[in-house]
Structure 1
């Protein structure tokens, strides 16, 4: 088998397996809120370190600053649009003045699915962006693909745990099978997208690859800031989420310099 194909197959498989493994961990251990805050906070820090020290610098090596900014905003805007669609075009934070009005609207028109299905379905769609980002990274530098895949592995494991915990807390029938099914779908999405990204995009020019890589960064940045950071902070004890976040950030800074 071709060495490059073997490499992308391996990193994509690792990222794919992380999600169902996280779901299984939730089934077996039923993680406490403290464990969730540390796991999700660490994942958020890992992703932020990957953006800062690996993904954006590599994008800027391939294309100009205006093009990278445009690519980043396109990726961020695409995931933001998906978030709006899932939530019926209305969202508000728990402390927002607009929260009561949004809640009334959602009582009339519920978000597209239950809490678990909204989270898992949205995550599956977002995994396509993350998978393509792995494939694009492999198209121009294997080291970048490995670091990005490592970050996504950690992210997917923590998301699998979150989906498992939420599904178990909803006490729905066949919760364990729902956890396995949703997390496996998430894993399949990232695996297929990574292989597709590598196969179909590896022949593009460096400028286009840089823009696409920045777009993937923008989408993943949105998910980190809107999903992972708030969830980790909501479960924290003695700011365990912030400490774990810092640990993940410093880990990726160190790895990016060592490699």
Structure 2
């Protein structure tokens, strides 16, 4: 992939975030729209991992390296998650929930709910941006497919952030939404270009390792953030249907590009 194509892909991903935030300000998304948008994004990212990132990682490195890189990426974001939540989290029906809530009362998460979500997303964009750069350096098709999935993801996440800010209220919600979504977009573009410029000359097996690591990190985000968010707003299992549509879209694009 040439540099100008990468710039266009990275810029599209970066602009998708403030555009999603602006869309939430123009008209607050309904719960059904959120379930469809976030579910579709989750399916698209799952398709990018399954059909492009991991196969390309194994091809350029080896199966053990791809598996190890995926596990390393997942563990890195898991560690970030624990840091943000001060080492404790539990689902609503977990038997450990009461203990975690008692801990929360003594020691809050590092910021309010909006800050945790948007700040965490900004940090995650660094990973996603690097993944775009590494994907493009590894294979042009992989860069295109991964970039498209991240564009969809960023727009959907920005809708969720906008909805959460509007739900919480407070002063200057528009300014807060545009600040966070703009920061997310800038983080993605900067890291995508850095990944391309600094990592493209690495040996193929190193690029394969980095690609698998990015897949593991992004997989963690999908199953812990996008899937629960989409399902919590679902109507008539709209989230599951949208997720299947997103996955099939990326599968079809991947096969068409390869053919």
Give deviations 1:78-116, integer Å, cap 9, x for gaps: 100000000010000011111111011111111001111
Among 247, 250, 258, the alignment partner of 2:248 is 250
- Aligned mates of 1:79, 1:231 — CA distance in 2: 18
Distance in structure 1 (CA, Å) of the matches to 2:63 and 2:200: 22
Conserved? CA contact 2:21–2:161, under 8 Å: yes
Name 1:206's counterpart in structure 2: 204
Deviations 1:193-221 (A, max 9, x none): 00000000001000000000000000000
Match of 1:147 among 129, 145, 148: 145
Cα deviation code 1:151-207 (max 9, x no counterpart): 000000000000000000000111110000000000000100000000000010000
Residue 67 of structure 1, CA deviation: 0.9
Are 2:138 and 2:208, in contact at CA under 8 Å, matched by a contact in 1?
A: no
For residue 9 of structure 1, the aligned residue among 1, 7, 11 is 7
**How far does residue 4 in structure 1 lie from its aligned partner after superposition?**
1.5
**In structure 1, what is the equivalent of residue 53 of structure 2?**
55
Gaps spanning 5+ residues in structure 2: where? none
Determine the structure 1 residue equivalent to 2:234. Answer: 236
Separation (CA, whole Å) in 2 of partners of 1:51 and 1:145: 12
- Following superposition, which runs of at least 4 residues in structure 1 exceed 4 angstroms of deviation? none
Q: What is the root-mean-square deviation of aligned Cα atoms in Å?
A: 0.8
For 1:99 and 1:172, locate their aligned partners in 2 and report how far apart those are by CA, in whole Å: 28
Q: Does 1:164 align with 2:162?
A: yes
1:43 aligns with 2:28: no
Aligned residues: 257
Q: In 2, Cα distance between the equivalents of 1:184 and 1:142? A: 27
CA contact (8 A) 2:73 2:215 kept: yes
Q: Is the 8 A contact 2:41 2:156 kept in 1?
A: yes
Gaps of at least 5 residues in structure 1 are none
Residue of structure 2 aligned with 1:126, choices 108, 124, 133:
124
Q: Distance in 1 between matches of 2:256 and 2:66?
A: 25
Question: 1: distance between equivalents of 2:62 and 2:4?
Answer: 32
Write the distance in 2 (CA, Å) between the matches of 1:64 and 1:257: 22
Q: Which moved more, 1:202-211 or 1:52-61?
A: 52-61
CA shift at 1:140, angstroms?
Answer: 2.2
Are positions 1:226 and 2:224 aligned together?
yes
For the residue of structure 2 that corresponds to 1:88, the secondary structure is: coil
Per the alignment, residue 93 of structure 1 pairs with 91
Structure 1 residues 24-63: Cα deviation after superposition (integer angstroms, max 9, x where no partner): 1111110011110000000000011111111111111101
DSSP 3-state at the match of 2:235: coil
